[in-house]
Amino acid sequence: SGSTQPLLVLSDVRKTFGGVTALKGISFGVGAREVVGLIGPNGSGKSTCVNVISGALPPTQGQISLEGQRISGLPAHQVVARGLARTFQTTQLFGEFSALDNVLVGANVCQRQGLLAQMRGWRSARRDTADAQVRALELLEFTGLADERDVPARRLPVARQRLLMIACALASRSSVLLMDEPAAGMVASERRMLSALIRRLPRRNVSVMVIEHHMALIMEVCQRIVVLNFGEKIAEGTPAEIRANPAVIEAYLGH
């Protein structure tokens, strides 16, 4: 439904590290309100792909655009400011801050230049805007963390810290969310919660690109899946198409 113009577009993106070519010219798009999975064996270039999209690393070659504007080559904070947020495998929360305060920081991440600016933003959010509080509470509700609003982030179980990172990313009002292995370390019940959460994101006007080893999760949350192998895109299609793709089966069996 809605726009067919992809929000996020990668065109012939290449990334080399010295003699290693991690991405050999990757092209794909993520549409509005679409959940796209990025899968592939270990070392196939998935994390590198997330790193170049989010501005953590510059691509060696090729272009990345968000809502028609070039983002490749921009530093990470400017990429975030344009509406692309990222969750990390390892926690990037403020451990001593409550869940609620972490989300309030997330709401100000758009203007961030660094930690100091974030902290300033957090203070002004606390002081100035009842709106920000209402919205942060709604996001805690949405991610199933309302009861833990006052709990310091470091005291939450790792799986719930991951959900909190998603709430923080949503607070930044990003249009695209990149998730690198959000289900890592989760038990089945937590994965079910995560799966339900990801599937509700398009209704909030958020598009998702998710890297995940847990195939069942990828298959149930994604509309489309891109498969990497040795830095190349070897397949792209619906979950049903990907499951039946001989090149994909070969790539996974070969490892």
The residue (of 47 and 229) whose beta carbon lies closer to Mg ion is 47
Region from 15-23, 95-103, 146-154, 166-174 binding ligand ADP, contact rule CB under 6 A: 15-23
End-to-end CA distance of the chain: 38
CA atoms within 13 A on the CB side of 15: 28
CB of 47 to Mg ion, least distance (A): 3
Q: Which is nearer to Mg ion, 47 or 207 (CB)?
A: 47
Q: Which does 155 bind (CB under 5 to 8 A by kind): ligand ADP, Mg ion, none?
A: none
Q: Does 195 bind ligand ADP (CB under 6 A)?
A: no
**Of 4, 42, 69, 189, which one interacts with ligand ADP (CB under 6 A)?**
42
Tokens (6 digits) for 158: 């790792």
Select from ligand ADP, Mg ion, none the partner in contact with residue 20, using the beta carbon and a kind-dependent cut-off of 5 to 8 Å: ligand ADP
* Number of residue whose CB is nearest Mg ion: 47
User: CA angle 8-51-154, nearest 5°?
Assistant: 110
Q: For residue 17, state whether it binds ligand ADP (rule: CB under 6 A).
A: yes
25, 19, 39, 228: CA torsion to nearest 10: 40
Return the closest-CA partner of residue 140 out of 118, 162, 163, 120: 163
**Closest distance between Mg ion and the C-beta of residue 38, in Å?**
10
Output phi, psi for 214, to 5 deg. -80, 100
Residue 189 contacts ligand ADP per CB under 6 A: no
Write the CA distances from 82 to 22, 177, 215, integer angstroms.
26, 12, 30
Question: Given the rule CB under 5 A, which residues bind Mg ion?
Answer: 46-47
Retrieve residue 110's tokens. Answer: 């758009």
CB of 46 or CB of 82, closer to Mg ion: 46
Token pair in block for residue 103: 């989300």
Return the residue of 25, 43, 62, 152 that touches ligand ADP, per CB under 6 A. 43
Chain-centroid distance of CA 61 in Å reads 22
Q: Which of residues 47-76 bind ligand ADP (CB under 6 A)?
A: 47-48
Q: Which part of the chain contacts ligand ADP (CB under 6 A), choosing from 44-52, 129-137, 166-174, 190-198?
A: 44-52
From the CB of 107, what's the least distance to ligand ADP, in Å? 30
H/E stretch holding 36: strand 35-39
Cα–Cα distance measured from residue 36 to residue 39, given in angstroms and rounded to the nearest whole number: 10
Residues that bind ligand ADP (CB under 6 A): 17, 20, 22, 40, 42-48
